[in-house]
Every structure is written in C-alpha cells, then in structure tokens.
Amino acid sequence: MTLLALFTLSLPGSLIYPLAYAQVLIVLIALLFFASAVISWREARAVTQVEPARVPGGGGGAVMTATIVLCMVYAASWLVVGYFVATFAYVVAQLVLLGERRWWLVVTLAGGAVVLVYVVFDRLLLLPFPAGILFDTE
C-alpha cells in the first residue's frame, strides 16, 4: 500500500499554494456575497407585490441522512477501490440522490470532476492518492 507523503508539508514553500488559493477563494466568496446582497437589495426595492415563495421539495431529512451515509461510505471506500474510482461513484450517486436524471450529464460531471482532480493534484502537484487494495501494484 502506498504511504501518503505528508512530510512534504514541512518543506519550505509547501504552504504557499494552498494559502494563496484560500485567499483567492475568500476574496471571490466575498465578492459573490456582496454582489448577491446588492441584487437582493435592488429587487426588494423594486417589488411592489409580494408573492408567496415556492419551496422545492427536496426530500428533506431523508436526502440529508442519505448524503451523510454516502459521505461515510465514500471515505471508507478509498482504501478498497482507490480515490478516483470512489470519487466517480460518489459524484454519480450524489447527483442521482439530488434528483438529476439526465445520465449523460451525471457521467460528464463525475468524469470531469475526477479528471480535474487527477490532472491538477496528481500530475501537476504530484500529490499521491490512495490506489486501493484492488488496484495497488506494490
């Protein structure tokens, strides 16, 4: 089984990318928040009649409980089938659980997520991922 190289976090400069990434995300989230607040404020001033809001029925507690269970199964399956296979299966299951029924969209989103994580973290940043017992070559 491949050991994760966590010792690289103590090397000089190893935290530059995650910290810069986090700072960019914080700025973008703040911009999104303020833009949303401005739009809501403008809409609130423009509305003269208030209509009752329609709340979509999302399954409520059953979907939340299934998502929690799905997350636990996902994390436990990394050591068996590997990170990338488990991630693909998790994204597919989560999208179906949330109501997406277009199979081509589900497969495309799941595959895109796996490819993005693989290219950025495995190939560019050279971070190791668990291969799983089924696919471990060592």
Domain-located, residue 95:
yes
Domain extent, residue 67, equals 15-124
Domain-located, residue 5:
no
Distances from the Cα of 113 to the Cαs of 69, 72, 107, 129, in angstroms? Answer: 21, 19, 10, 15
- Model confidence, pTM: 0.57
Number of domains observed in the structure of the chain = 1
Domain-located, residue 42:
yes
Domain-located, residue 3:
no
Residue by residue, DSSP assigns 48-85 as -SPPPPPPP---THHHHHHHHHHHHHHHHHHHHH-HHH
Domain-located, residue 52:
yes
Domain-located, residue 94:
yes
Domain-located, residue 135:
no
Domain-located, residue 64:
yes
Of residues 21, 3, 7, 19, the one with CA closest to residue 128: 3
Could you state, in chain order, the average pLDDT of each consecutive group of 10 residues for the chain (138 residues)? Answer: 54 65 84 86 68 59 87 89 90 89 92 91 82 70
- Alpha-carbon distance 136 to 138, whole Å? 6
